[in-house]
Structure 1
Amino acid sequence: MSTPRPPQQDRATATRARVIEAAYACLLDGGYAATTVGAVQQRAGVARGTLLHHFPTRATLMAAVVDDLADRRISVLDGDPPAESGWDGVVDLVWRDLQSPAFAAALELWVASRTDPELRAALAPVQRRVFTSIRRAITAFVGEDDPRVPTLAQFTVDLLTGTALSRVVDPGADVSVVIDRWKRTLAVLSSGDAVSSGIHRPSLP
């Protein structure tokens, strides 16, 4: 007795997911320039016509990858909570996201978007979605009643992102000192003694 084939819609969904996964792997292995339609097609093991049916252009494929990367990063943020509590936990959580393969792939797209307006337009709303998730994860740790939280959260994201980027050039760089110093700095900035520091409440982008 033959095994019944899955419905056409399920097959199409599986094919689309396989193509996106292949594009993600291409980004990690070779960067944006190497993530061509042909390379993705070969890696996914699908016919060119099949790939083009789902993604008629490289731009539509990259737009789907951008959404997929956001989902991957959000799953990291929504995963097991860090062992530390308070702002120390916030630092550990944000750093965990920045060390994930999904961030490495997203970085490839960030750099490429500087000279690719279409890619940049696809990235902007998704990046806002990621920041919304980061903000939600941070307030889960430290609450949102303190008016300093949005500013300290933004400082944390920006400082740790810059620290992560420095390791692109020097993968062996020891950044543990920077992370430890920022945890100690946050302890001061978020303490009751810092209430008069003039930190206000801007919104994360």
Structure 2
Amino acid sequence: MVATQRAQQQRSVTTRARLVEAAFDCLLDGGYAATTVGAVQARAGVARGTLLHHFPTRSALMAGVVEDIIERRLEVLGDNPPADGPLAGSWDEVVDLVWRELRSPAYTAALELWVAARTDPDLRDALVPLQQRIFVAVHRSITILVGEDHPQAAMLVQFTIDLLTGSHLAGVLEPRVGTDRVVTAWKVALRTLADAWDAPA
């Protein structure tokens, strides 16, 4: 009996993961508008009743996808031990970390949801608390890279996120020439700001 229950639970977990994966792929391929219950059902290859058992509404399905996207983004943010060499633990790695996360498939899917959430209160309610986990993860990762002692670490991290996010979004519809140079230039500027603010008054 116990073995049967465990097998059923495992099947349930597997099916739920399959549905979330299908929804994630729908978001990447067709955007939020195309990520309907019917599209996810067809992509996952399950019966409609099976999908509705796990996610009774589209809002519930999207909430499940939000959680999955957050976990995917946390993987990118958390799996970044400082490299060996002269730049280990440097502000250059901060820029690389943020830039890598912005170009991940998980960020692309998140962007679809963030835009939709502007006019969807249920989706917005699901996103806001989970987004806080991303902010915490970013700052934890930065602390690992540069330490806890820099007096303006939070401000420099925010500068980096805002500037790189803007550069990334400006090239969403069509790649922009020169974006890589912007990233490289910000590394130089960030090191300069960090050194200036870290110097004794």
Indicate whether 1:194 and 2:169 are aligned. Answer: no
Native 8 Å contact 1:82 1:93 kept in 2: no
- Indicate the residue corresponding to 2:103 in structure 1: 99
Q: Which moved more, 1:99-108 or 1:174-183?
A: 174-183
Contact residue 81 and residue 93 of structure 1 kept, 8 A: no
2:30 corresponding residue in structure 1: 30
* 2:175 paired with 1:171: yes
Three-state SS of the structure 1 residue aligned to 2:133 is: helix
Change over 3 Å in CA distance of 1:91–1:68 after alignment to 2: same
SS state at 1:168 partner: coil
Task: Write out aligned runs for 1:119-158 (5 A).
Answer: 119-158=123-162
Conserved 8 A contact 1:82-1:92: no
Aligned residue in 2 for 1:8: 8
CA distance in 2, matches of 1:14, 1:195: 50
1:183/1:121 CA distance change after superposition, 3 Å: same
Taking the aligned partners of 2:22 and 2:109, their CA distance within structure 1 comes to 12
* TM-score of the aligned structures, taking structure 1 as reference length: 0.89
Amino acid corresponding to residue 20 of structure 1 in structure 2: V
Say how many residue pairs are matched.
194
Distance in 1 separating the partners of 2:82 and 2:108 = 21
* Long gaps (5+) in structure 1: 199-205
Identity of aligned residues (%): 58
TM alignment of 1:44-83, pairs within 5 A: 44-81=44-81, 83=83
> How far is 1:181 from its partner?
1.2
Taking structure 2 as the reference length, the TM-score comes to 0.91
Q: Which runs of 5+ in 2 are unaligned?
A: none
Does the 8 A contact of 1:77 with 1:93 survive in 2?
A: yes
The alpha carbon displacement at 1:81 in A equals 3.6
* Partner Cα distance (1:173, 1:111) in 2: 25
Call closer, same or farther: CA 1:108–1:37 in 2, change over 3 Å.
same
How far has the Cα of 1:170 moved from its partner?
2.0
- After superposition, the Cα gap between the structure-2 partners of 1:18 and 1:197, relative to the gap in structure 1 and judged at 3 Å, is farther
Letter in 1 for 2:191: A
| Alpha-carbon distance, 1:174 to partner | 3.1
Matched, 1:110 2:138: no
How far residue 75 of structure 1 moved from its aligned partner, in angstroms, is 0.4
Runs of 4+ in 1 over 4 A off after TM superposition: 195-198
